[in-house]
């Protein structure tokens, strides 16, 4: 081997060494930059996607918690209402967002109901999201238009049996908690009532008060002010215990619909792949927010209980809820086209 060949080989090895060193340095810096970005998060506004229209319970809770979370994180939390398809439009959008902590979803029990109701979804609620923490839970309340000549659940059942297919029940949309709550009631009582879906709890409530529909099984925060004003009449609570806001209103279980139980819940979720450090920060700050005396007082006035489940517990809970509601959908025959 001549002198020039030896120099050529040395030059090649040196070039390769330099290239490898530069690549290693770049990877190290990338990791450092990612770590730094996580440590500094958040450095810009966060968008909280609400899957239903303004004025409904999900919107009410989302705005209250979003405001307190904004104060804790020292960055604006922007509320973005994306109603449609029973909450699935918003969930599908968030599932495809960057997992950087700047796009979050206030999910509800409706998202655990969806797999049993829809033939296909653009997302997988269990696989495509990182559960952060439970935000709140609340019972639903069976309410009717005051012009309906009933004051108890047994009277309502008797009226519907005497007047089949004349009573319509409303919901915040096909696949929403109100929808499946109504389908469960219909199935357990063998009644002939018709489901009327809306694009949120607020427009549904407007039609219920106006008499366009006759009943709904609505979440407590949305129903409470209208019950108190006398614009709708409360007949029964869907939990196994009575509401502290309406202690004189019996549960559906007490009223003869044995075993009927529905709890509506709201959980903070992020797209899959969120870094553990951002998840931990979100969870920690949200935990503090949910102990805020002002927030708790307002929750109590609406019959809402602050959540206490962290990410691991919430993940297991969501799996159990999805299985539960898939069975309810199958047994009731409820489907969404």
Which CATH number is 196's domain given?
3.40.190.10
Residue 265: other Cβ atoms inside 10 A? 22
For residues 143 and 233, state if they share a domain. Answer: yes
For residues 147 and 66, state if they share a domain. Answer: no
Judge whether 19 lies within some domain. no
For residues 176 and 87, state if they share a domain. Answer: no
The whole-angstrom separation of Cα 284 and Cα 279 is 8
Question: 144 is in which domain, residue-wise?
Answer: 139-237
For residues 117 and 151, state if they share a domain. Answer: no
pLDDT string in tens for the chain (337-residue length): 554 554 544 454 545 554 555 444 454 455 545 455 577 999 999 999 999 889 888 999 999 999 999 999 999 999 999 998 889 999 999 999 999 999 999 999 999 999 999 989 999 999 999 999 999 999 999 999 999 999 999 999 999 999 999 999 999 888 788 889 999 999 999 999 999 998 888 899 999 999 999 999 998 888 999 999 999 999 999 999 999 899 999 999 999 999 999 989 999 999 999 999 999 999 999 999 999 999 999 999 888 999 988 888 999 999 999 998 998 888 878 888 6
Has this prediction a pTM greater than 0.85?
A: no
Judge whether 3 lies within some domain. no
For residues 271 and 125, state if they share a domain. Answer: yes
For residues 185 and 199, state if they share a domain. Answer: yes
Judge whether 104 lies within some domain. yes
Which CATH number is 287's domain given?
3.40.190.150
Judge whether 337 lies within some domain. no
Count of structural domains, the chain: 2
For residues 167 and 125, state if they share a domain. Answer: no
Q: Is the peptide bond before 42 cis (omega within 30 degrees of 0)?
A: yes
Segment (H or E) for 81: strand 77-81
The whole-angstrom separation of Cα 69 and Cα 286 is 7
Residue 293: other Cβ atoms inside 10 A? 7
Judge whether 258 lies within some domain. no
Let me know: does 169 contact 194? Beta carbons within 8 Å: yes
């Amino acid at each position: 081997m001549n002198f020039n060949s030896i120099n050529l080989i040395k030059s090649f090895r040196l070039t390769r060494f330099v290239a490898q060193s530069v690549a290693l340095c770049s990877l190290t810096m990338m990791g450092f930059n990612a770590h730094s970005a996580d440590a500094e998060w958040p450095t810009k506004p966060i968008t909280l996607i609400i899957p239903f229209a303004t004025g409904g319970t999900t919107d009410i809770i989302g705005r209250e918690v979003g405001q307190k979370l904004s104060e804790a994180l020292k960055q604006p939390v922007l509320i973005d209402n994306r109603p449609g398809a029973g909450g699935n439009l918003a969930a599908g959008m968030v599932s495809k967002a960057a997992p950087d902590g700047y796009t979050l979803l206030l999910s509800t029990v409706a998202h655990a109901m969806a797999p049993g109701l829809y033939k296909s979804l653009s997302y997988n609620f269990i696989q495509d999201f990182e559960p952060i923490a439970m935000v709140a839970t609340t019972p639903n309340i069976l309410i009717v238009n005051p012009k309906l000549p009933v004051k108890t659940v047994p009277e309502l059942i008797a009226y519907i049996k005497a007047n089949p297919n004349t009573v319509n029940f409303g919901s915040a949309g096909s696949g929403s908690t109100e929808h499946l709550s109504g389908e469960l009631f219909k199935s357990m009582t063998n009644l002939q009532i018709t489901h009327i879906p809306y694009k949120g709890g607020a427009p549904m409530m407007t039609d219920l008060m106006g008499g366009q529909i006759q009943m709904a099984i609505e979440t407590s925060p949305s129903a409470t002010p209208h019950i108190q004003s006398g614009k709708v009449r409360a007949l029964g609570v869907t939990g196994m215990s009575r509401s502290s806001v309406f202690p004189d209103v019996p549960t559906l279980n007490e009223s003869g619909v044995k075993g009927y139980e529905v709890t509506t819940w709201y959980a903070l979720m992020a797209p899959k792949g969120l870094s553990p450090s951002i998840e931990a920060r979100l969870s920690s700050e949200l935990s503090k927010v949910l102990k805020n005396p002002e927030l708790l007082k307002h929750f109590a006035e609406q019959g809402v209980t602050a959540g206490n489940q962290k990410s691991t517990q919430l993940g297991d809970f969501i799996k159990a809820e999805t299985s539960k509601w898939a069975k309810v959908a199958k047994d009731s025959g409820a489907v969404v086209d």
